[in-house]
Structure 1
């Protein structure tokens, strides 16, 4: 699948995991670095950089200035807990936007979308999967048979998106559960199975004979490519 590649530089492990997971759930490919030493090497394949100010070694301002010097058209979004106007002005001398911590994930995503549109980065092509047309960037799933949108609950969306990110691969029940619920899977728990059943009722032509979400008996599930 064609995914927009983001470079994310953040040394705080907890924040980094949270932001990366959220962006990946929205269909982005994310390279996360905890320092800026390799930023110039990675940035060449990226469409946007999300850059924290407080980093070990080179600070975010220095890293951002070097990125802009080498890749002038590459959008840079600064993140910082610093709220003073002087810090914002320093960042905006080279960065395209500046977002202060703490922030809501929806605001971060909105800022990213604006910068990508401004830079002319095209949205990825929709994924065609049997009768489904999946617009990953817009989190939109259309039933091509009926022309109607398929609306998923939060957990259904996360399960479906997780399987899509591993298209064609068999994912174990443990992997799926722990990625979606963030908790250890307990053998015999029927929660995932129930959610898969309800998900199939929405995305399959015939939930009793699924064409999209395949059960791998005794192991887990996969989306057939």
Structure 2
């Protein structure tokens, strides 16, 4: 779970992004301008910063943030697509995403930046699994082998980890990982959970890590 400082003056976009990143387990502080940035950057793990803002533009705000805290990753969001604008943004920022964008791509880029700037790994043990949460690595402690997950399997498992001991509905899981509304009868989630279990469970036929809560959804217990 990361503390995200999000600066965006377009309400509809901000609410859309904030809802998605919150569902993925992050804490969001949303500002509509750069006026209060200084009081939030000390606790932020990453900054998502729009270019077009009232008062100081995103480029100016981003440079100030980097000057004060150079190890704080910044992702620029902008409707400006020219090479010149991207070059100006990447002169100080760590990533630059043009509007319109997909929530899934934004989330993936946020995760990449968080991993890149995380200096110390944290290891979590879950039954026979050793989970290096900052490095994004999972090992079977009994065989010392790394468990390789696909992108969606990894995001699904991370969503469970961020919500340990919580019973999660199909709707919550689908919206949190795919960023879309769950449609009754859709087998996508069920298939991904089956494949995930095949990789992380000792016996996928009797899963001990990802529990099925009949009639509700799933849960991973610490």
TM-score (norm 1): 0.70
Residue in 2 that maps onto 1:54: 52
Match of 1:217 among 197, 214, 218: 214
Pairwise mapping of residues 1-225 of structure 1 onto structure 2 (< 5 A)?
3-11=1-9, 13-14=12-13, 17=16, 29=26, 31=28, 33=30, 35-36=32-33, 37-64=35-62, 67=65, 71-73=68-70, 75=72, 77=74, 79=76, 80=78, 81=80, 83=82, 85=84, 92=91, 95=92, 97=94, 99=96, 101=98, 116=117, 121-181=118-178, 182-186=180-184, 188-225=185-222
Unaligned runs of 5+ in 1: none
After superposition, give the CA deviation of every residue in 1:14-42 in whole Å (9 maximum; x if it has no partner).
598569958996xx845252523442332
> Partners of 2:85 and 2:205 in 1: how far apart?
61
Unaligned runs of 5+ in 2: none
After superposition, give the CA deviation of every residue in 1:16-74 in whole Å (9 maximum; x if it has no partner).
8569958996xx845252523442332220134332221244422443355457x4445
Paired residue secondary structure (1:43): coil
Question: How far did 1:189 drift?
Answer: 4.2
> Partners of 1:154 and 1:23 in 2: how far apart?
19
Q: Please say if residues 8 and 32 of structure 2, whose CA atoms lie closer than 8 Å, have aligned partners that are also in contact.
A: yes
Q: Please say if residues 216 and 222 of structure 1, whose CA atoms lie closer than 8 Å, have aligned partners that are also in contact.
A: yes
Paired residue secondary structure (1:163): helix
CA 1:148–1:22 in 2, change beyond 3 Å: closer, same or farther?
farther
> Partners of 2:189 and 2:97 in 1: how far apart?
37
Paired residue secondary structure (1:122): coil
TM-score (norm 2): 0.71
> Partners of 1:98 and 1:177 in 2: how far apart?
27
